[in-house]
């Protein structure tokens, strides 16, 4: 019951944050790319910088925007996980949910025969965070040692049954295996400070000349865990990969991991 009340309070803040049209427009802008406060202000010439800052503050309070310091600038990133929670609460229970796949790239390639070229971009950066009602030691274990229990997406061919292992040590691997000697590496660990942070290199389904890395940071917050995800990728990237991965992380962390940890 306590968890339900906390969730309802959080959703009330999200609804309030979405209640102003300028704030909704800001989210539409940030969906395309992160922006500084000054850059956002340029989209609204008739609105003062102070007013834009107040709107951003409301969006931060609703956890719909996360801010990262980059030199002397504060860059604002869309955090769609609260919208995922809103969908799960108000829409998902009334209709069949189709998960936003972190890896629908293979199916897209199959449908197009791998022949159709898509516009390429050179980099993206995804920043998301969510509050999980559990100690961070439990969240860290769920992210690593127990990832098999909730990680939904697979690289294994259709019809193959695969299993995951994750070694949360420097040099360890997050790996999916199927058959006798087949599999894929989702990530290789290059930094661990358990249970506070773990960093990995991993393509996460992207192919070709791509450099990709992702980080989980876990902060204690009044007996709960604030989980922060940072995912950066550079190289020859298809234009839909950023949105696919943003939606995939949103579903993995905001729905699957959160439900697993809070309800197990």
Whether residues 125 and 21 fall in one domain? no
Q: Which of 78, 113, 138 is the last residue of a domain?
A: 78
Tokens linked to 255: 């729905």
Same domain for 220 and 117, yes or no, is yes
Task: Based on the fold, state whether residues 65 and 172 are members of the same structural domain.
Answer: no
Question: Are the C-beta atoms of residues 66 and 128 closer than 8 Å to each other?
Answer: yes
In a domain, 47, yes or no: yes
Cβ atoms within 10 Å of 127's Cβ, excluding its own: 21
Do 26 and 116 lie in one domain? The reply is no
Domain boundary among 78, 97, 114: 78
Please give the DSSP secondary-structure letter assigned to residue 233: E
Residue 64 and residue 124 in one domain: no
Any domain includes 87: no
Q: Give the domain extent around 54.
A: 2-78
Q: Within this chain, do residues 74 and 112 fall inside the same structural domain, yes or no? A: no
Shared domain for 134 and 199, answered yes or no, is: yes
Identify which of 59, 49, 104 has the alpha carbon closest to the alpha carbon of residue 79.
59
CA angle 168, 169, 175 (to 5 degrees): 55
User: pLDDT, tens digit, for every residue of 251-262?
Assistant: 999 999 999 999
What CATH number does the domain containing 31 carry?
Answer: 1.10.10.10
> From the CB of residue 242, how many other CB atoms can be counted at a distance below 10 Å?
20
Nearest-angstrom CA–CA distance, 81 and 18:
14
Answer yes or no: pTM beyond 0.85.
no
The whole-angstrom separation of Cα 21 and Cα 51 is 13
Q: How many domains does the chain have?
A: 2
Taking the C-alpha atoms of residue 127 and residue 236, their distance in angstroms, rounded to an integer, is: 20
C-alpha dihedral sign at 141, 144, 148, 154: positive
Q: What is the pLDDT along the chain (264 residues), one digit of tens a residue?
A: 444 444 556 567 778 888 888 999 999 999 888 999 999 999 999 999 999 999 999 998 888 899 988 888 889 999 888 877 776 666 555 444 444 445 454 444 444 444 444 456 688 999 999 999 999 999 999 999 999 999 999 999 988 999 999 999 999 999 999 998 999 999 999 999 999 999 999 998 888 889 999 999 999 998 899 999 999 999 988 888 998 999 999 999 999 999 999 987
């Amino acid at each position: 019951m306590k968890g339900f009340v906390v969730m309802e309070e959080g959703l009330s803040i999200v609804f309030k944050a979405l209640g102003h049209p300028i704030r909704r427009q800001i989210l539409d802008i940030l969906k395309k790319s992160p922006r500084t406060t000054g850059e956002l202000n340029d989209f609204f010439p008739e609105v003062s910088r102070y007013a834009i800052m107040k709107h951003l503050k409301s969006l931060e309070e609703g956890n719909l925007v996360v801010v990262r310091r980059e030199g002397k600038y504060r860059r604002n990133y869309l955090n769609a996980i609260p919208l995922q929670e809103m969908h799960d609460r108000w829409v998902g229970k009334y209709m069949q949910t189709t998960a936003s796949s972190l890896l629908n790239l293979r199916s897209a390639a199959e449908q197009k025969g791998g022949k159709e070229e898509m516009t390429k971009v050179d980099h993206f950066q995804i920043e998301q965070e969510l509050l999980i009602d559990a100690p961070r030691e439990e969240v860290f274990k769920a992210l690593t040692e127990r990832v098999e229990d909730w990680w939904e997406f697979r690289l294994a061919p259709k019809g193959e049954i695969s299993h995951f292992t994750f070694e949360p040590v420097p040099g360890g691997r997050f790996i999916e295996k199927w058959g006798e000697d087949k599999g894929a590496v989702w990530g290789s660990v290059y930094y661990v400070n358990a249970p506070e942070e773990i960093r990995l290199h991993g393509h996460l389904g992207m192919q070709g000349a791509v450099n990709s890395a992702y980080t989980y940071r876990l902060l204690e917050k009044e007996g709960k865990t604030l989980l922060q995800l940072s995912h950066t990728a550079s190289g020859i990237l298809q234009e839909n990969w950023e949105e696919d991965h943003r939606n995939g992380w949103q579903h993995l962390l905001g729905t699957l991991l959160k439900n697993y940890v809070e309800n197990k």
